[in-house]
Each structure stands twice: as structure tokens, then as C-alpha cells.
Amino acid sequence: MGKVLVTGGLGYIGSHTVVALQQEGLEVVIIDNLYNSELSVLDGIETITGIRPVHYNIDLRNKIEVTRFFENNEVEGVIHFAASKAVGESVESPLLYYENNINTLVYLLQECSKHEITNFIFSSSCTVYGEPDVLPITEDAPVKSAMSPYGNTKQISEEIIFDTCKSTILQAISLRYFNPIGAHDSQEIGELPKGSPQNLVPFITQTAAGLRKELSIFGDDYGTKDGSCIRDYIHVVDLAEAHVVALQRLMGKKNLMPYEVFNLGTGRGSSVLEVVAAFEKVSGEKLNYKIVGRRSGDVVSVYADTTKANNVLGWQTQKTMEEALESAWKWEQKVRGL
Ligand code: NAD
Ligand code: UD1
């Protein structure tokens, strides 16, 4: 059996997926240019699985290097995580996002076509749905006009993959992640945001660890149960498992169509205030927070209908949000030496 290429395999979701793939007996090779990750992640992966994956420090924007990689490596499937993901930065530097998220995808798909690699998994996002009309949201819900260049790159990427599946032998699955949180139970790998975290849970854990003075909660005047925004927080280990299932689906030729899309969430919506309360409960820490104004571009409420992922993909979550928050907190404590 050939190798599985995991781009962005040293990143947050990629590293957990590498572990899950290796634990399933698959051979993994990683491309990651350390743009948003550390080489030490390889140590964490090796400690968990006993296998140090081969890592190439290649910038996927470098077409020549990407071509050379595929000439030298026999690959049976690709899981493409590598991308830039900061929404605010994408508004300030849209071309950086179009280059890093779109060019890299095109180069990879060109190589897949050249080397007749048919199995391709793509990291998409629930951001493609924008503000949903109906909740929970199904895969058939309309893709709304993107709220940021980052969101637009996910929409465009899905279209590029869909078009490629129509005209080549490519078989692909886009996985639309809701809000991944938490860390591996071993505390060997987890989320390592560079600079001030933009996402809720790393901001919470850094505040509890004393790195940030207080958490700002962006609005308590929405039309939700307690006025704060609602999201679907999914444990990153559950999310990682879904990639193994999706890849096996393609490798086993069990997919029903050349291009498929699945929501990856828990199906449960939790408000920001509920997340804070759950964190305080599992950590035993009192969190310093204040309510501030709404964050521009925030969706009020979004959570997944997971019926398709459960019944068609054959995957479901095993872990609770509380377990995810507890693992995130343990990871933060370990990283900070607390
Ligand atoms: P991450 O930043 O932790 O991981 C991405 C990895 O890709 C990093 O290790 C980075 O160094 C690498 N990378 C980026 N550009 C590269 C390039 N040009 N060449 C080689 N390597 C490159 O992000 P993540 O949270 O693990 O997200 C993975 C994917 O999932 C991304 O596509 C992201 O858009 C998508 N996604 C993430 C979330 C989330 O909340 N984390 C939600 C929805 C979708
Ligand atoms: C954000 C992005 C989304 C991206 C996802 C994963 C926006 C508008 N959306 O989603 O495109 O796919 O990250 O990277 O940025 N919150 C606070 N205080 C904080 C941080 C967050 O109250 O300091 C709130 C937010 O208002 C939101 C919730 O917590 O209601 C979750 O926020 P976040 O973790 O940033 O994720 P999303 O907004 O869902």
C-alpha cells in the first residue's frame, strides 16, 4: 500500500490526524513548512505512536518542489490541511490567502492528476454556510456569500475540487469542520497558536494560565438562549478519526459520487457562556472575563446536522465538549510548565 501525504501534518488538526492514520497502520509522509507549527510536533507524534513520520519542509507554494516531491514519493492518497486560517489576517492580506490556500491546492491537484492519485481529502469549514437559515445545518444548505477572503478560499477550493472530480479520475471528500477544540489525551500534541489566539478555547486556556488578563466575550445581546453566540465544538481527536474513515472510504471505493461533502460536528450547539461555565467546572478555575461588543463578521448560531456523516460516512463523535475542554486545559498547563 502506498503512503498517505498529509499536508500541514504538523499543524493542530493535521498532527492529530497523523496519529490516527498511523494507529490504523497507514504510512504517513508530511509536508509542512512550519509556517504555523513547530518541528517538535514530530516528537509528540513519535511518543504517541512509536513511529516518526517522514517530514518534508516544503512550501507548497513552490511548484517546482511540489513536483519534485511527487516524482520521488509514491503516494496513494492526500489529506490537504495546509492553509492559512486567520480570518482577520485574510481581510488585511487577501492575496496571501488566495496564494497560500488556492495555488497550493491547484499544484497538488495537478500532481494528483499527473500521477493518477485518486484519493483526496480536503479541510473545509462550516464558514461556507455563512449565517444559516435553518438549524441544525445540513450539507444541502446553500453556500452563502463568504464573509472573509479566508471563507472565500474554502468555497473556491470546494469548487475547484468539484470541477476536477468531474473531468478527471479524482475522487474527493470535503470535510466541513465546525469548531475543533481540545488536545490528544496523552498531552503530547495539541493546539499551539502563534501570538494572541483568535479562537475561543485557546483564549480561555491562556487566560486561565495567566498569559492573558481576561477573556472578552463578544456580545451577550444576540437572540440566543443566553445572548451569546452558539457554535458546535468538536473534540479534535473525533475530528481526526473522521479523516481516517473518509480516506478508507475512498481507498475502498465505497464513495457514492466522485465528490462528496460531510459536516463534521457534534450536532450540539453551545453558547460562549456555556463553554466558559463548562471550562470552569472541568478545570476548577475561575475564569476572568468581561462582556464586550459584538465581533464583526460573527455568525449568531451554527451547529451541524450530522445525519449524513453518521449514516453515510459511518462516523460519529465519541467525546464530549467537557472532555475536550479538560484536555485543552491539561495541554495548556503542560505547555506552560504549570
Ligand atoms: P494549523 O495552522 O495548525 O495547521 C496548518 C499547517 O499547515 C501548519 O502546520 C502550517 O505550518 C502548514 N502550512 C501552511 N501553509 C503551508 C504551505 N504553504 N506549505 C506547507 N505547509 C503549510 O491549522 P489547523 O487548525 O490544523 O487547520 C487545518 C486546516 O483545517 C486548514 O485548512 C484550516 O483552514 C481548516 N480548518 C480549521 C478550523 C479550525 O478551527 N482550526 C476550522 C475549519 C477549517
Ligand atoms: C472562526 C472563523 C471561521 C473559522 C473558525 C476556525 C470568524 C468570524 N470565523 O469561527 O471562519 O473557520 O474560526 O478557525 O472569525 N469568542 C469570544 N471571545 C474570544 C474569541 C471568540 O467571545 O476571544 C466567541 C466568538 O464570538 C464566537 C465563539 O466564541 O461566538 C467562537 O469563536 P471562534 O473560536 O473564533 O470560532 P468561530 O467564530 O466559530
The per-residue pLDDT for 1 is 63
Kindly report the length of the chain. 338
Does the CB atom of residue 36 touch ligand 1 within 6 A?
yes
pLDDT in tens, 246-286: 999 999 999 999 999 999 999 999 999 999 999 999 999 99
Which residues have CB under 8 Å from 310's CB, separation 6+? 316
The per-residue pLDDT for 162 is 98
Q: What is the residue-averaged pLDDT of the chain?
A: 97
Distance 229 CA to ligand 2 centre (A): 9
Answer with the residue of higher pLDDT: 194 or 39: 39
Mean pLDDT of 308-316: 98
The per-residue pLDDT for 2 is 73
Distance 85 CA to ligand 1 centre (A): 6
Does the CB atom of residue 216 touch ligand 2 within 6 A?
yes
| DSSP-derived 3-state class of residue 42 | helix
Indicate which residue's Cα is closest to atom 3 of ligand 2. Answer: 127
| DSSP-derived 3-state class of residue 75 | strand
Q: Which of 295, 296, 302, 321, when mutated, tests ligand 2's pocket best, judged by the most ligand atoms within 8 Å of its CB?
A: 295
The per-residue pLDDT for 12 is 98
pLDDT in tens, 120-137: 999 999 999 999 999 999
Q: What string of DSSP letters covers 166-187? A: HHSS-EEEEEEE-EEE---TTS
Consecutive H or E run containing 336: helix 321-336
Of the residues 97, 150, 222, 259, only one is catalytic, namely 150
Of the CA atoms within 13 Å of residue 196, those in its CB half-sphere come to 8
Does the CB atom of residue 82 touch ligand 1 within 6 A?
yes
Does the CB atom of residue 63 touch ligand 2 within 6 A?
no
**Dist. CA 112–CA 287, nearest whole Å:** 48
Q: What is the pTM of this model?
A: 0.98
Pick from 139, 34, 36, 141: which is nearest to 85 by CA? 36
Q: Which ligand is nearest to the CA of 301?
A: 2
The per-residue pLDDT for 89 is 94
Is residue 91 over pLDDT 90? yes
Q: What string of DSSP letters covers 202-247? A: HHHHHHHTTSSS-EEEE-S-SSSSSSS-EE-EEEHHHHHHHHHHHH
The per-residue pLDDT for 16 is 98
Q: Are 31 and 42 in contact (CB under 8 A)?
A: no
Does the CB atom of residue 80 touch ligand 2 within 6 A?
no
Active-site residue flag, 56: no
